Amino acid sequence: MSVDREHPIRVRAFQHTPSEPLGYFEQIFSEKEILFEYVRLWEGDPVSTDDATHLVFLGGPMSVNDESQLPWLKLEKELICRAVRKRVPVLGLCLGAQLIASAHGATVYRFVKENGWFLIHPTPDSTGVFTSFPDTFHVFQMHGETFHLPVGGRLQCRGDRVPNQAFRLGSALGLQFHLEMTESLIRDWTSSERKFQKEIIGRDTKRFLERSNFLCREVAREFLFGNIHTTQAIIRK
């Protein structure tokens, strides 16, 4: 789909740590000539949207429950709620998905750790891009918390170890897993793992990363263009 020059898409990505950028999404946005910028929260950038039309909330090592230590988490949740009310497209990755859930009253809590590639599958209630996904597919995971499904949320993907893997809530899509991975990101994230674990992840990356990149493109396409008549809303600070 071509870019609308009269009403350009502007993506604002809320980044919680230098090591967790947009990753493969950057390549996709650049190829499609999509304007994007980062809000670097650890540097004190304000939690605002300016003229953004699409919002991405990235991952991070903190918990959404750490509001007393990281007050911008509360501001992010408030922004997410405003965006969803105005039907602004919101995409949450790992911590970002948990922020969407928490913003809408769901509990986020410690659970099974998943580090590496894990098999998940779309649910019978899946909609949109997930209806074209394979019956099972591997995704990269690195998390130790999970979330209850918020009221009104619709589960899109399930895992055997961690059930809630993707959900929709209005204009928001939350992914517990990481479709944004590249080889360099995986090397950086797993540098402190034991040698045996790094070997397993390296082997699995060769098997599954190309397919993951394809699925990332499909999610990006829906996020950017899926509801073309409702995605031009702009929310203000």
Note the pLDDT tens digit of each residue in 91-130. 999 999 999 999 999 999 999 999 999 999 999 999 999 9
pLDDT at 169 over 50: yes
Q: What is the pLDDT of residues 36-86, one digit of tens each?
A: 999 999 999 999 988 999 999 999 999 999 999 999 999 999 999 999 999
**Mean pLDDT, to the nearest integer, of 144-166?**
97
Q: pLDDT band at residue 236, thresholds of 50, 70 and 90?
A: very low
Q: State mean pLDDT over 15-30.
A: 98
d(CA 114, CA 82): 31
Beta pairing class for 35-40 and 90-93: unpaired
Alpha carbon 110 to its chain's center: 19
Q: What is the mean pLDDT of residues 180-207?
A: 95
What pLDDT score was predicted for residue 203? Answer: 97
Which residue has 């397993």 as its token pair? 200
Q: Domain limits of the chain?
A: 10-225
- Going by C-beta distance under 8 Å and a sequence separation of 6 or more, which residues neighbour residue 121? 135, 136, 137, 157, 158
Q: How far apart are CA 128 and CA 122, in angstroms?
A: 11
- Residue of higher predicted confidence among 168 and 230: 168
Q: How far is CA 140 from CA 45, 93, 110, 154, in A?
A: 28, 11, 19, 22
- pTM here is 0.93
Region 150-172: what's the mean pLDDT?
97
- State residue 128's pLDDT score: 96
How distant is the alpha carbon of residue 45 from its chain centre? 20
Q: What is the pLDDT of residue 5?
A: 57
pLDDT at 4: 53
Q: Which residues lie across from 15 on neighbouring strands? A: 40
- Name the band, by pLDDT with cuts 50, 70 and 90, for residue 146: very high
Homologous superfamily of the 10-225 domain (CATH): Class I glutamine amidotransferase (GATase) domain (3.40.50.880)
pLDDT value at position 234? 35
pLDDT at residue 50, rounded to an integer: 84
User: Of all residues in the chain, what percent carry a pLDDT higher than 70?
Assistant: 92
Burial of 111 (0-12, 13-18, 19+ CB in 10 A): middle
- Across the chain, what does the average pLDDT equal? 93
So what's the pLDDT on residue 6?
A: 62
Q: In sequence order, what E strands does the chain have?
A: 10-15, 35-40, 54-57, 90-93, 108-122, 137-147, 154-159, 164-169, 172-175
* Residue 201 CB partners (closer than 8 Å, separation 6+): 115, 116, 117, 186, 190, 193
Residue 233: its pLDDT value, please? 38
Q: What is the mean pLDDT of residues 164-179?
A: 98
